[in-house]
Structure 1
Amino acid sequence: MSNMAREILAFILTTSGWVLVSSTLPTDYWKVSSIDGTVITTATFWSNLWKTCVTDSTGVSNCKDFPSMLALDGYIQVCRGLMIAAVCLGFFGSIFALIGMKCTKIGGPDQTKARIVCLAGLTFISTGLCSLSACSLYAHRITSEFFDPMYELGAALFIGWAGSTLCILGGALFCLSLSDGMISK
């Protein structure tokens, strides 16, 4: 695979991963619990990093925002910080990637562009690790308290894990393109 094709594939992977990671932050279903009646589900409880809600069988939702940051559990504060850091790192990684890729005209000589691409790769790997840590910490908390309120893993966690994996794989491809670019020089 040519170096430019590897960079384009890495950019597609990392950008897709960053979009997935970014979409998990406002997603409602980080943890979900249902109370079943005899015929229909009577209520669905769900929670994310910002609020907790209940939806009844008629579709009416009642949400309560978390009242104070200081009153939050520590793991939610950590997850919020890691996810916001992941979104910010992914933004800067995208800029570094666009500047450093061989198919763009900005960024200077090839050796400088190769270093910028490596920086983009490391930034995306950091993005993936931040998001992976946040989703895994939240999932660990849910599974360790599984029998208490009977919550289960929500869709946002799986989306976050998928986005993290794409960011890490794409970041590694960016770093591999640096090694090929520097060896050929």
Structure 2
Amino acid sequence: MASGSAELVAFLLVISGWVLVSSTLPTDYWKVSSIDGTVITTATFWANLWKTCVTDSTGVSNCKDFPSMLALDGYIQACRGLMIAAICLGFFGSICALVGMKCTKIGGSEQTKSRIACLAGLIFILCGLCAMTSCSLYANRITVEFFDPLYVAQKYELGAALFIGWAGSSLCIIGGSIFCFSLVKDNKNRRVGYAYNTAASAISTRTKAYNDSTDFKAPNASPKHFDKNAYV
């Protein structure tokens, strides 16, 4: 029962994390910067993995898509690949988690379902690591440019998408770890049960053999009584 509850909690965590990671990819504000006037913000610059935009004080946005994938900076290409890999891994991990959970009726025997659940946990851990690496790589580039005194171009700050990505990747890693630990606990309990049953069966076999040997009596056998002078 405890293992089933742990798997249910892990499933909710990984699904929530995967949804957050998936929503991070099309989110606009990966990095943001603003130009402030005397009273209001005159312009807000923001960018994500696909485009860069500017929004004026009236709320009108002008965006420019990145013209060529091959002409992009290396860190943007790496972030795109890692985020897409994280989303794909989360999809396959969700299928494995549904098959491997004890509350479902598919997946085969209990031992097979436990292995599938462990595989789902490993997939979600890898999913979380990919998403966290992508967000951290992008954030590192922003902070390096922001604190570089020789960088004269527009400086940006961390956007909301990065924090959403970090939260989602953390949930995926935590939920995947719970899946793996539940399998380890099940294997430990199963081994203890097998050892106990083996010891009990061995004791019962020895007891039965002993009883059979002591209860065996030859037919029509009468007890022998020897006198003290029998050997004289």
TM-score, length-normalised on structure 1?
A: 0.98
Match of 1:156 in 2: 161
Distance in 2 (alpha carbons) for counterparts of 1:162 and 1:8: 19
Distance in 1 (alpha carbons) for counterparts of 2:106 and 2:188: 22
More RCO (CA 8 Å, sep 6+)? 1
Task: Return the offset for 1:184.
Answer: 2.0
Match of 1:58 in 2: 58
Match of 2:217 in 1: none
Task: Return the offset for 1:183.
Answer: 1.6
Give the total of aligned pairs. Answer: 185
Match of 1:116 in 2: 116
Residues 135-163 of structure 1: CA distance to partner in whole angstroms, max 9, x if unpaired? 00000000000154220000000000000
Residues 106-133 of structure 1: CA distance to partner in whole angstroms, max 9, x if unpaired? 0000100000000000000000000000
Distance in 2 (alpha carbons) for counterparts of 1:93 and 1:180: 21
- Counterpart code for 1:107: G
Give the fraction of aligned pairs with identical amino acids, expressed as a percent: 77
Match of 2:5 in 1: 5
- Establish whether residue 172 from structure 1 lines up as the match of residue 172 from structure 2: no
Q: Which runs of 5 or more structure 1 residues have no equivalent in the other structure?
A: none
Instruction: Find the residue that maps to 1:167 and give its secondary structure.
Output: helix
Match of 1:15 in 2: 15
Task: Return the offset for 1:181.
Answer: 1.5
Greater Rg by CA: 2
Instruction: Find the residue that maps to 2:146 and give its secondary structure.
Output: coil
Residues 6-31 of structure 1: CA distance to partner in whole angstroms, max 9, x if unpaired? 00000000000000000000000000
Is 109-118 or 143-152 further displaced after alignment? 143-152
Instruction: Find the residue that maps to 2:72 and give its secondary structure.
Output: coil
Q: Which runs of 5 or more structure 2 residues have no equivalent in the other structure?
A: 191-232
Instruction: Find the residue that maps to 1:121 and give its secondary structure.
Output: helix
- Counterpart code for 1:117: A
Q: CA RMSD in A?
A: 0.8
Match of 1:93 in 2: 93
Match of 2:137 in 1: 137
Distance in 2 (alpha carbons) for counterparts of 1:9 and 1:167: 12
TM-score, length-normalised on structure 2?
A: 0.79
Distance in 2 (alpha carbons) for counterparts of 1:65 and 1:91: 28
- Counterpart code for 1:140: N
Distance in 1 (alpha carbons) for counterparts of 2:189 and 2:87: 34
